[in-house]
Amino acid sequence: MSHYIYVVAFLCIVIGLLWGRFKSMHIFGLTVLALLLSGFMGIKHIYSAAVNPSLLTVMALIALTGVLKKQIRIDLLLSRFGNSEKSFLFSTSAFTALLSGLVNNTPIVALLIPTIKQRSAAKGWNASLFLLPISFAAVAGGTTTLIGTSTNLVLNGMMIENGIEGFQFFDFLIPGALVTIGVLSVSIFLAPIILKSEDNNEGQELVSARNYTTELKVIPGGSMDGKTVKKARLRNLNDLFLTEVYRNGEFISPVAPEEVLQANDTLYFTGAIENVNELLDQFPKGLKNVEEKFKVQGRSNLIEVIIPNNSDLIGRPLKKTNFRLRYDAVVIGVQRGGQPLKGKIGRLVLQAGDLLLLATGKDFIERNQEETTLIAIEQHNRLSEKRLGRERFFLPSVLVIIATAFFMKWTLLITVALLLISAVACGLSHAEKLKNEFNAQLYALLILSVAFGSAIVEGGHAHFFLEKINLPENSTLAVAGLFGLTVLFTNFMTNVSAVAIAFPIAAAIMQHYDLSNLDVLLPVAFAASASFLTPTSYQTHLMVMGAGNYSNRDFLKMGIPVLIIYSIITLLILL
């Protein structure tokens, strides 16, 4: 009976994840809760997963990367890179891949985006030529070490949890390095063909002229109250278009030149970021932000930011996020998938990867560092932070800790924990900041996915059903089939979810064919990292999609040949 219950639960998770309407954490959470309440799963699996060293290491590494990114001056490093498009493309891609094998690649790409855009603007290059290749490089580079991607660590945690020997740190090095070389080669060759527009200047203008729908109100008694659209000079704006007027619960569209504006009318404009800024400055006595409480002190120039997929803003209407108080900024436009979103901004439900157009106050940069960080895609000057004089000891302490860990054979968790303690001692972080870096939703997802996978393996449910299937006599075909299935999953759901689904099947295949952990689970690890086809399959893809003005088609045109080469190299080496 329990075998059939688990197969239903397994299929519910797969269908729910592929459907994409619900968060992975909710899908795993509801399934695990149902199994717990029905008595088919023990609470011990939850307890054990919560203290799994690999999962704790994932969370500690994310916090450590938040500290390290402040020590890496990406702008200074990139200034030394090539002066031609080809050399700059190679340098940025190789640099991203190298760092991604050592630290969490999301902050690396976040730091690279504004710097690459600034360098491209100065050189007259099209920034979209570089951003998608660095995202692919980040994915490939993460496969070179055990800590290069959280997927490797999560899979390692599942193995240890179920009595399977875990990976060694450098098990990934040779296959990962060869895969990375293949991905970089294909990306660097195809990017100028697929991503570069016929005219560099035209491509640069396309990115800079990204459109937003901006929502403003007519000030009662102001310079526009009682005037027609034409007399208010809203007809022939510079690359801006008045698309709708919202009045007394009704939308007026199209807006006629003789339409008389009334107090508190909400006006919807579509246009480029630079021209939206002009609009706010041109009519200071006629238009205002929609909500008075959204006003910020000392408004600076407009900037664009990306919502990362670990943000607590995701899934919430903007008006319920307390955005202005948290960030000292006003959201005046939202773009998703390259298109401006229409409707009342306050009612828009935010999603990972959304581009927000912000009017920021003087405290925005400082508050953004304190909160769940929004990723700015325009370069800002760094804060002149108060220095304690102890920062210079951090990098030497890192070298000492890593060297000692190597000779003393400390676990990865102990090593990362000591590095975090050193960062706090050197004044580079503090307890409150580390708490903000902690992603509770990710941790819950890791616990739930590992617990579910462990329950399936311990109960022999996957093995039970595999024995009823006519598996190929050749184990290589079975592992290759699992590799392909995992690749499919990881491009349409999160990497962690793909691993959670593939692991019980992999464990059953190991038992059926009497294979070692590296024979089956190393190919699964590489398959779970093969996220190249869709922008939603990986965090860095979402980040560069808006910044580079890419479409889903761009990901497919670049991603399919990259995935083919990635898969061929992986299978030739590991099978």
Tens digit of each residue's pLDDT, the chain (575 residues): 678 888 888 888 888 877 767 777 888 889 989 999 988 888 888 988 888 888 888 888 877 876 776 666 665 666 667 678 888 889 899 989 998 888 777 777 877 887 888 788 788 888 888 999 999 999 999 999 888 888 888 888 888 888 888 888 788 999 999 999 999 999 999 988 888 654 434 444 444 445 666 777 888 888 888 889 888 888 777 667 777 888 887 878 778 888 899 988 888 777 665 566 666 667 767 777 655 434 444 444 567 788 876 677 888 888 788 887 888 777 777 877 666 776 667 778 888 778 887 877 777 777 776 655 677 765 444 444 445 567 778 888 888 998 998 888 888 889 888 988 888 888 777 777 777 667 777 788 888 888 888 888 888 887 777 777 777 888 899 999 999 999 998 888 778 888 888 888 898 888 888 899 889 999 999 999 999 988 878 878 877 887 777 888 889 999 999 999 999 999 999 98
Task: Give the pTM.
Answer: 0.75
Please report the sign of the dihedral spanned by the C-alpha atoms of residue 86, residue 89, residue 92, residue 98: negative
Number of domains in the chain: 1
Residue 203 · residue 197 · CB < 8 Å? yes
Answer whether residue 183 is part of any domain: no
Task: Flag whether 363 is in a domain.
Answer: yes
**Tokens at 424, concatenated:** 């706090």
For position 280, what pLDDT does the model report?
Answer: 64
Radius of gyration of the chain (CA): 26
**298 falls within a domain:** yes
Whether omega before 254 lies within 30 degrees of 0, making that bond cis, reads: yes
410 by Cβ neighbours in 10 Å (0-12 / 13-18 / 19+) ranks as middle
Q: Give the DSSP H or E segment for 475.
A: helix 475-490
Q: Are 304 and 356 in contact (CB under 8 A)?
A: yes
Element (H, E) at 92: helix 85-100
Ranges of H-type helices in 237-328: 273-282, 323-327
Task: Supply the pLDDT for residue 467.
Answer: 73
Domain that holds residue 334: 210-376
**CATH code assigned at 232:** 3.30.70.1450
In a domain? residue 300: yes
Q: Would the CA dihedral through 493, 496, 497, 499 be positive or negative?
A: positive
| Residue 464 maps to a domain | no
Q: Residue 102 burial (CB < 10 Å; 0-12/13-18/19+)?
A: middle
Encoded tokens for 552: 């889903």
pLDDT for position 178 = 95
- Residues 332, 270: contact at Cβ < 8 Å? no
Kindly report the CA angle at 350 between 195 and 379, in degrees rounded to 5? 50
Tokens of 167: 């990976």
Task: Specify if 423 maps to a domain.
Answer: no
Strand 211-218 to 266-272 pairing = antiparallel
Instruction: Report residue 565 as tokens.
Output: 């080469």
Does residue 186 form part of some domain?
no
Does some domain include residue 153? no
Cα separation of 254 and 272, whole Å?
A: 20
